[in-house]
Structures are given as structure tokens and as C-alpha cells.
């Protein structure tokens, strides 16, 4: 269903923080967009945007109105999906935000989902674990997938899957044949660590805070692919959640050894939605596909 153009205009200006940038994204003249906003502000008898030297910023009234607009757009998407469902079709779009550690395993879930629902378009953005929550509660996405997501009063966890942290290393590494290891055993070898944008670092830091030792990484990065490639060339260790490491270990040149430290072995992968939001049929079906697939891995 096509939403009211004015709603799309207001939402775009709020997201871009600029009438000019929003107009470019909407493919309309900035003067026309500004006129629509001024007419709405006149109708409401209040300013929605504060005009700044370099863009615009929502006023308190603007925050309220944009919240209403985004809830209305979400409800309209839901109604459209439900109407399509009544016709015996499952169509629409599912917007997802996921942590980088899931980027290599998500295509498997998407392929499985599309084998049943080929008419659904998926939009996936990879982001930091902090931004996952922000995007979710701002209604920029319908589903957030990640580990150790920051708690938020407007976020609801709808599914949890146990996903322990593993030490990923070359198949010829001295620790490669171990059934499990403790974090302390990694000290004897070069270590790579993700930076603070990835949830692994926070999880490891919580464990280290209760110990008498520290990790001294030789490489810190926000790229799992870079750390993986480096470990393939060396005897270094990098850390990744088990489900995210599956594709690497299936290539048989790397091994994922579970870490047995209590907080690490019980790490969880979560699927979250905004509290109070009713998922459209396609989104709910995708969440069910994800949960079933990950529990089977």
C-alpha cells in the first residue's frame, strides 16, 4: 500500500536532518518539499523543525509528530501485508538489522526463507550492536539480530538461541584438537580482538574483569573477515560466536573450539522487535525461519 506522500516527506527530512538531502533522496525539488512542510506547520500552528545554518532539527512537537508518522507507516505496512495474506499471497518487505558476526550465515537463512516465500523482499543492514537497538526502537527496521544487545525499555526479545563464543584458529594450531578451552589458555599465542563496535569485545571484557590476567592483542579490528584472514596465515587466535564461525570451519582450514568460561559458553543470539509492534506475516515468518535454522545448526 502506498503511504501518504506527506508522511514520507516528514520522515525523510527527520532522517536526513536536511531538506536539501531529503529532497535529493525523494527525487523532488527542495523548494517543493519545503513548501509542503511549511503548509503542514501552518496547519498545525507549530514548528516541526528548527532551521539551522546547516540543516534542520526536530522540535519537541516535531519529535511527537514524527513518532506518530512512523507508527502510522508501520501500521500501514502491516495492513498491506495482511491484505496480501487474505489473497493467499505472502509479499512485502522485511527490514532487518544484524550484527557483522552474522553476515556470513544470514544468506543461508534468507535462501531457506525465499524457497517458501519468493515474493518477499528482504532488506538487511549490517551494523554495530549498539546501533541495532537504536534502529529497532526508531522503527527503521522490524527485526534486530545480534548478541548481547544493549537493553532498552522499548525492545522485546522474541527468541533466544544458545550460541557460545569460540576460539577460531588454524587447523594445525596446537589447540585445534581440544574439545574446549578456557580463555586463559589463549594467552600463550598471538591474539586478535574485535573492537568495541562488536559485541564480542564487551563479553570478553566482562570475563576478564573477574580474572587476574589480561589479553594483549596483536591486532584489533572491526572486521571479522580481516581477523579470519590473518589467522589463516599465522598461529593467531580470533574469537567468534559458534553460528557465525560455521562457514569458516566448513572450509576445513579453520577450527572453532568452544570456550568453557561460564559467561562465554552460555552466550545467546537473540531476535528482537520493538515492544508493542505486531510483526507483519512475512516478518513473523522470517523470524520463525531464523529460529528454526539456528536451533538446528
CATH number at residue 286: 3.40.190.10
Whether the predicted pLDDT of 76 surpasses 70: yes
Nearest residue to 109 (alpha-carbon basis) of 135, 145, 147: 145
CA gap 283, 21 in Å, rounded: 30
What SS3 state is found at 242?
helix
Task: State residue 252's pLDDT score.
Answer: 67
Report DSSP letters for 11-64, one per residue.
HHHHHHT-HHHHHHHHTS-HHHHHHHHHHHHHHHTS-SEEEETTEEEE-HHHHH
Whether the predicted pLDDT of 120 surpasses 90: no
Is residue 69 included in any domain, yes or no? no
Give the tens place of pLDDT for each residue, 18-52: 999 999 999 999 999 999 999 999 999 999 999 99
Lowest mean per-residue pLDDT among 78-82, 222-226, 254-258, 266-270: 78-82
Q: What is the band of 90 on the pLDDT scale with cuts at 50, 70, 90?
A: low
Q: How many domains does the chain have?
A: 3
Task: State residue 147's pLDDT score.
Answer: 85
Whether the predicted pLDDT of 89 surpasses 60: no
CATH number at residue 225: 3.40.190.290
Task: State residue 292's pLDDT score.
Answer: 87
Mean pLDDT of 281-296: 86
Q: Which of 46, 64, 82 is the last residue of a domain?
A: 64
Is residue 81 included in any domain, yes or no? no
Whether the predicted pLDDT of 294 surpasses 70: yes
Nearest residue to 293 (alpha-carbon basis) of 128, 163, 166, 180: 163
Is residue 158 included in any domain, yes or no? yes
Is residue 260 included in any domain, yes or no? yes
Does residue 181 sit in the same domain as residue 258? Answer: yes
Nearest residue to 13 (alpha-carbon basis) of 41, 44, 34: 34
Whether the predicted pLDDT of 228 surpasses 90: no
What SS3 state is found at 156?
strand
Task: State residue 248's pLDDT score.
Answer: 66
* CB under 8 A, 24+ apart: contacts of 154-157: 154/274, 154/275, 154/276, 155/272, 155/273, 155/274, 155/275, 156/272, 156/273, 156/274, 156/275, 156/276, 157/270, 157/271, 157/272
Does residue 158 sit in the same domain as residue 272? Answer: yes
CA gap 115, 119 in Å, rounded: 10
Does residue 137 sit in the same domain as residue 188? Answer: no
Does residue 170 sit in the same domain as residue 234? Answer: yes
Does residue 14 sit in the same domain as residue 30? Answer: yes
Q: Which three cell numbers stand for residue 25?
A: 533522496
Give the tens place of pLDDT for each residue, 158-191: 988 888 999 999 889 999 999 999 999 999 999 9
Mean pLDDT of 57-78: 90
| pTM of structure | 0.67
Does residue 18 sit in the same domain as residue 150? Answer: no
- Is the model more confident about 82 or about 20? 20
Is residue 83 included in any domain, yes or no? no
Task: State residue 96's pLDDT score.
Answer: 95
Is residue 133 included in any domain, yes or no? yes
Does residue 251 sit in the same domain as residue 212? Answer: yes
Q: Cell 529497532 sits at which residue?
A: 136
CATH number at residue 13: 1.10.10.10
Is residue 73 included in any domain, yes or no? no
Whether the predicted pLDDT of 289 surpasses 70: yes
Is residue 78 included in any domain, yes or no? no
Task: State residue 48's pLDDT score.
Answer: 95
% pLDDT > 70, the chain: 95
User: Mean pLDDT in the chain?
Assistant: 88
Does residue 230 sit in the same domain as residue 280? Answer: no
Task: State residue 151's pLDDT score.
Answer: 81
Does residue 142 sit in the same domain as residue 124? Answer: yes
CB distance 81 to 92 below 8 Å: yes
> What DSSP designation does 186 have?
G
Q: Cell 544470514 sits at which residue?
A: 106
Does residue 154 sit in the same domain as residue 176? Answer: no
Give the tens place of pLDDT for each residue, 233-245: 888 999 999 888 8
Q: What is the band of 117 on the pLDDT scale with cuts at 50, 70, 90?
A: confident
Does residue 190 sit in the same domain as residue 256? Answer: yes
Whether the predicted pLDDT of 87 surpasses 60: no
Question: Cα–Cα–Cα angle for 294, 295, 297, nearest 5°?
Answer: 65
Mean pLDDT of 150-163: 88
CB distance 249 to 256 below 8 Å: yes
Does residue 172 sit in the same domain as residue 258? Answer: yes
Task: State residue 235's pLDDT score.
Answer: 86
Q: What is the band of 211 on the pLDDT scale with cuts at 50, 70, 90?
A: confident
- Domain residues for the domain of 46 are 5-64
Amino acid at each position: 500500500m502506498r503511504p501518504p506522500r506527506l508522511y514520507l516527506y516528514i520522515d525523510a527530512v527527520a532522517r536526513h536532518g536536511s531538506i536539501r538531502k531529503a529532497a535529493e533522496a525523494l527525487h523532488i525539488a527542495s523548494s517543493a518539499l519545503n513548501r509542503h512542510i511549511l503548509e503542514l506547520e501552518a496547519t498545525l500552528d507549530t514548528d516541526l523543525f528548527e532551521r539551522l545554518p546547516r540543516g534542520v532539527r526536530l522540535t519537541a512537537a516535531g519529535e511527537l509528530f514524527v513518532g506518530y508518522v512512523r507508527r502510522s507507516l508501520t501500521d500501514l505496512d502491516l495492513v498491506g501485508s495482511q491484505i496480501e495474506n487474505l489473497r493467499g499471497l505472502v509479499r512485502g518487505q522485511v527490514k532487518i538489522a544484524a550484527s557483522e558476526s552474522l553476515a556470513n550465515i544470514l544468506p543461508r537463512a534468507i535462501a531457506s526463507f525465499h524457497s517458501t516465500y519468493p515474493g518477499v523482499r528482504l532488506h538487511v543492514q549490517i551494523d554495530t550492536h549498539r546501533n541495532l537497538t537504536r534502529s529497532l526502537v526508531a522503527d527503521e527496521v522490524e527485526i534486530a539480530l545480534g548478541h548481547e544487545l544493549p537493553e532498552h525499555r522499548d525492545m522485546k526479545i522474541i527468541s533466544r538461541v544458545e550460541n557460545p563464543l569460540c576460539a577460531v584458529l588454524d587447523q594445525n594450531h596446537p589447540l585445534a584438537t581440544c574439545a574446549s578451552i578456557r580463555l586463559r589458555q589463549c594467552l600463550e599465542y598471538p591474539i586478535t580482538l574485535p573492537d568495541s563496535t562488536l559485541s564480542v569485545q564487551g563479553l570478553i571484557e566482562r570475563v576478564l574483569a573477574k580474572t587476574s590476567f589480561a589479553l594483549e592483542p596483536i591486532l584489533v579490528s572491526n572486521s571479522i573477515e580481516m581477523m579470519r584472514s590473518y589467522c589463516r596465515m599465522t598461529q593467531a587466535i580470533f574469537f567468534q560466536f559458534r553460528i557465525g564461525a560455521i562457514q569458516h570451519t566448513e572450509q576445513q582450514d579453520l577450527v572453532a573450539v568452544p570456550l568453557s568460561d561460564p559467561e562465554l559458553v552460555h552466550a545467546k543470539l537473540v531476535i528482537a522487535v520493538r515492544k508493542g509492534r505486531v510483526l507483519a506475516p512475512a516478518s513473523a515468518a522470517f523470524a520463525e525461519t531464523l529460529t528454526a535454522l539456528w536451533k538446528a545448526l
